[in-house]
Structure 1
Amino acid sequence: MIRRLLLAMSAVLAGCAGNLPAPHSATRTAETITVSVGPCFGFCLVYTVSMAANGEVVFDDARHTAALGERRRKIDAAVYRAIAAELARFRPRAEEQREVACRVKVCDQASYDVTWTGAAGARHVIHAAGGCRDGEGAALEAVLRTLPKRLGIAEWAQQRTYPGTSRG
């Protein structure tokens, strides 16, 4: 009798195990990280670049970039993991939006929005002012400035001004 009871309980528990959510680290690997570089009052670059754990990179210009329109390329997944690890310290813990601290900054610089989007659609967003010279904002900008080269989009993200294109 006890043997049958244990067998039945094992079957019930095994059925429940399939419904458990994936561990937190597994959901993070499915994240897409999107960096939006925002305007200034001059001819700052304005573009969005998204990177996925599978190495897919999508670049989309808005203004003042050498490449016009959407461009795609692949990077090694290890590059994504390295960038994700460097940005992890800035990622909000909960599904929220927050401003990155910056007390000392150069004015009229581009701004940055970094969005982590999980497989289920949960979004974690930070906003940072460009030109930050101290603390968390300076550390974040140091990472973000390396992205064009590391993602292979440096040629696309070069500053270009086209006739008739407004500033800002």
Structure 2
Amino acid sequence: MRRQSVSFLTLALAASLTAGCAQQSARPTSEPTASGSRVTEIRYRVGPCHGTCPVYQVELDDAGTTRFVGEQFTAIEGERVRANDPERFTRVLDRLAAWQPAMGMTVETPTCGPRATDMSHYIVTWTNGDGEVAVLKHDSGCRSADARLLTERLRSLPQALGIEAWVGR
């Protein structure tokens, strides 16, 4: 009897660990979220620094439309819209998936480490078909390895979207 209960507990523990891993690995794709609705829009805003860093915002939807608004220190000021293919949305979604919080959550830069205080800040918002949002607030002055990788990914988005000429620099 004792051997059966130990075996049962071992199986239950293994199943719960496997389920937890499966849930984590499912998040980095454009598959439906826990609510059953997939991400349909990603917005990000790049805030000012203590200098001439570009200040702009971008919205992209799962149909491929990219909307850019240059606010300060960008090559283009004001709004521009670009029709991209839906693949670009999926690439951006996948590129940022490791940092996407669960729907309904807002998180700050994970594992910031030492920080330079005069760098741009990013706010990334994922919205699903049900209108639920997940928000990541990132300080590009964070110097941990994970934070630097996130900063590189965020800085590469204009090129991935074909709008680098609008941002400038």
Q: How does the TM-score come out when normalised to structure 2?
A: 0.74
Match of 1:68 among 63, 71, 77: 77
Residue 46 of structure 1: CA displacement?
0.6
56-65 or 96-105: bigger deviation: 96-105
Aligned residue identity for 2:95: E
> Which residue in 2 is equivalent to 1:45?
54
CA distance in 2, matches of 1:97, 1:72: 28
Structure holding more helix per residue: 2
2:107 equivalent in structure 1: 98
What is aligned with 1:79? 88
**Aligned counterparts of 1:28 and 1:92: Cα–Cα separation in 2:** 14
Q: Aligned to 1:34, which of 33, 43, 68?
A: 43
Query: Could you tell me the TM-score, scaled by structure 1's length?
Result: 0.74
Larger Cα-atom Rg: 1
1:125 aligns with 2:98: no
Counterpart residue number, 2:125: 115
Aligned residues: 136
SS of equivalent residue, structure 2 residue 52? coil
Paired residue secondary structure (2:96)? helix
Cα distance between partner residues in 2 of 1:146 and 1:118:
23
Residue type at the aligned position of 1:84: L
Q: Give % identity.
A: 33
SS in 1 for 2:88: helix
1:156 and 2:166 equivalent? yes
Quote the offset at 1:34 in angstroms.
0.6
- Contact kept, 8 Å, 1:49 with 1:57, in 2: the verdict is yes
Structure 1, unpaired ranges of 5+? 1-22, 160-168
How far apart, CA to CA, are the structure 2 residues paired with 1:136 and 1:53?
27
Which runs of structure 1 show a deviation greater than 6 angstroms over 4 or more consecutive aligned residues?
none
Cα RMSD after superposing both structures:
1.7
In 2, distance between residues paired with 1:36 and 1:107? 18
Give 5+ residue unaligned stretches, structure 2: 1-30
8 A contact 2:103–2:132 mirrored in 1: no
